[in-house]
Amino acid sequence: MHYKYFLMASSVLLLSACGGSGSDDTPTINGNEIPILSVANIPSDITKSQTIELTATASDNDGTITSVIWEQTAGLKVLDEPIAANSVIINIPSALSYSPKEYAFNVTATDNEGAIAVKTVSFIARNAMDEFAAARLLHQGSMGPTLNEIRKAQGLSEQQWLESQIALPIEYHRSYLVKSPDQDDFRYINRIDGWWKATLRSDDQLRQRVAFALSEILVVSDANSSLSSQPEGMVTYYDLLLKNAFGNYRELLEDVTLSPIMGTYLSHLGNEKADDALNIRPDENYAREVMQLFTIGLEELNLDGSAKLDAQGNTIATYGQSQIEGFARVFTGWTFADSETFKRKSRDYIKPMQAFSEYHSSKQKVLLNNEVIPEGYGPEESLQIALDNLFNHANVAPFITKQLIQRLITSNPTPQYIERVANVFNDNGDGVRGDLAAVIKAIYLDDEARHFGSVLSYQGKVKEPLLKTVQFWRNLDARSLEGEYRTWNLINNYGQGPMRSPSVFNFFRPDYQPAQLRSDELVAPELQIAGDTTLIGTMNEHFSGLVWGTAEARDDLNPKELYVYIKSDMSFLKSNGVGALLEQYNVLYFAGSMSADTRQALLDLDAYFNDDEYRERVSYLLYIIAISPEFNLQY
């Protein structure tokens, strides 16, 4: 694997002087002019594994140069000892980490009377991803990379790609939500259509991937709920996740809490203070889930995600009934924005909820870590105190960062990996807690994620079924002639759909452990939806889409149906042969992990067809890739 690096160079002239006089612009020592020294050939971009030559030019106005000495002062050792030479050839070591590495060298010129001039040459050598490294990062950091996106990422460092993605403007899904012809209102299928369009077309792929991960942690769903009739509100909630994906977790937590979609889903919208006469008790649903699922979990955790134990070796509960009741009181008095009264609701599923003080419980509220909101506090102030209390609990960093790592990188991160990222959650380096941009960069730039010095015999995670189809559709320009993505049966075909979870616990639990992995103490969350029905449905969907659903297989296209377009792959196969096509697929779909056995299986399949059957050859190669074990794992 070859890596290139970015280099910043700076030079500092250090002069030895004890007084005296000389020419107007050349310093002297006791009347002797010191040498004039310059260094050339410093490239503007230095990469690891690169070989560079640095050249020093020295002269002396009133004498001769007796020596030019190079000595390394920083960086991995490339000069074992000082070297006397006008130029040195430096072989920058290969990448052992994603981290940029500083190198520094002193070059000293000495004249015949002992006067010296010293220059320090320093530069930063960075990674420059090759095609496999770029593909691996984009498999982790996008909804499914295209070959063009991988090519554009080549030569960049991992950090450069991440920072460029974070800087991109947000491509909100709301702009892709359109009504179908002859419809007066938005419908469920319009939301799904908008999700496909935004996911397939957006440039801010890292943000889209992180928001997708957040949608499986901070879960709302319109499956079998009253939210199925609120597609505009559901899209607004997803956009809320996009907005906060690189923001602060505290702000995200507040936006989620005040979302009327979340308020409806977990029933704290319209939650009232206790009234014994009317047998009303504050609803505890959101109070439980905001603790159990959105912030701290059920057990006290160490920073590395492991459970804390008491003196008897038992786990320690993070909260009890008194905290549930306390938070339930916090979330009373909130309903739809712009409601005429608390009872006469506006049904506005777009704006954040607003509070009605007369329906808020003013009783004492017991929170975490023995913090108490005294009697008499109103809804807005109680909410701020309560969310700060949750956000500042020690569990939040390991609990949330572990789940993000699992959704983005690997199902089984080491405790050390979790702790490193949790430390960034607690402090981004500037004293800020909860900075998600810093957390996301730490997740992706960790050496464990980049496979540098990995201590693991296992890597990565099972790909989510939906994301596999997204990559094929992004690469093969999937579309209908009418421009709509009308995919009604996502759950049957994939076992999942965007914001279609059967419960607040997502499609799969982060600790799901198939029986085959128990002896190794490994988890594979995505396999919780890999039942017989889903596996068969997904395989059938891939066959239908990649073999039957190619536009090139039809003389007449149904304007309502989705087709993929494989003409460019057919042309590449015709011009370059199956070997070259498989090399391209190895980059695009396997990030370099295609084994010799898989390659041979694809070659054997291709041999069944006549040479000029380019459409059939491409379609069946893509289908076998889609169901191959190596493609189904994100390394």
Range 335-347 average pLDDT: 97
- Indicate whether 10 pLDDT > 50: no
* pLDDT for 133: 96
* pLDDT for 456: 59
Q: How is the chain split among helix, strand and coil, in percent rounded to 5?
A: 40, 15, 45
The more confident residue out of 19 and 251 is: 251
Range 273-287 average pLDDT: 95
Helix (H, G, I), strand (E, B) or coil at 229: helix
**Residue 436 contacts residue 244 (beta carbons within 8 Å):** yes
Q: Token digits for 553?
A: 């297989």
Of the given ranges (178-187, 310-319, 327-336, 504-513), which has the lowest mean pLDDT? Answer: 178-187
- Indicate whether 276 pLDDT > 70: yes
The more confident residue out of 444 and 226 is: 444
E strands present in 334-434: 334-335, 354-355, 365-366, 372-373
With respect to CATH, is domain 10-125 assigned 2.60.40.10?
yes
Segment 374-412, tens digit of pLDDT: 999 999 999 999 999 999 999 999 999 999 999 999 999
Q: Which of 528, 524, 462 has its CA nearest to residue 495?
A: 528
Confidence of residue 455 (pLDDT cuts 50, 70, 90): low
- Indicate whether 490 pLDDT > 90: yes
* pLDDT for 5: 28
Q: What is the CA radius of gyration of the chain?
A: 30
Range 141-157 average pLDDT: 97
- Indicate whether 357 pLDDT > 70: yes
* pLDDT for 7: 29
Give the C-alpha separation, 51 to 67, whole Å: 24
Residue whose token pair is 């106005």 = 61
67, β-bridge pairs: 110
Q: Which of 597, 518, 244 has its CA nearest to residue 400?
A: 244
Percent of the chain with pLDDT over 90: 89
* pLDDT for 608: 97
* pLDDT for 458: 72
φ and ψ of 14, to 5 deg: -110, 120
The more confident residue out of 196 and 18 is: 196
Domain parsing of the chain, residue ranges: 10-125, 249-393, 463-499+531-634
- Indicate whether 2 pLDDT > 80: no
**Residue 369 contacts residue 309 (beta carbons within 8 Å):** no
- Indicate whether 156 pLDDT > 50: yes
Q: Which of 213, 215, 220, 205 has its CA nearest to residue 170?
A: 205
**DSSP structure string for 406-465:** HHHT-SS--HHHHHHHHHHHH--SSS-S-BHHHHHHHHHHSHHHHTSS---SS--EEPPH
Range 566-586 average pLDDT: 98
The average confidence (pLDDT) of the chain is 93
* pLDDT for 457: 59
The answer to whether the Cα torsion of 156, 158, 160, 164 is positive or negative is: positive
Residues 6+ apart with CB under 8 A from 420: 442, 446
Range 143-159 average pLDDT: 97
* pLDDT for 360: 98
Task: Please state, as a whole number, how many other Cβ atoms lie within 10 Å of the Cβ of residue 470.
Answer: 22
Task: Please state, as a whole number, how many other Cβ atoms lie within 10 Å of the Cβ of residue 125.
Answer: 28
Please give the model's pTM, rounded to 2 decimal places: 0.92
Confidence of residue 17 (pLDDT cuts 50, 70, 90): very low
* pLDDT for 4: 31
**Residue 267 contacts residue 285 (beta carbons within 8 Å):** yes
- Indicate whether 324 pLDDT > 50: yes
Range 459-477 average pLDDT: 96
- Indicate whether 539 pLDDT > 60: yes
* pLDDT for 98: 87
**DSSP structure string for 258-322:** T-HHHHHHTT-TT----BTTTTB----HHHHHHHHTTTS-SB-B-TTSPBPB-TTS-B-BS--HH
E strands present in 16-64: 28-29, 32-33, 36-40, 51-59
The more confident residue out of 532 and 247 is: 247
Q: Token digits for 507?
A: 């499609």
Give the C-alpha separation, 302 to 41, whole Å: 51
Range 493-500 average pLDDT: 95
Range 117-128 average pLDDT: 93
- Indicate whether 313 pLDDT > 60: yes
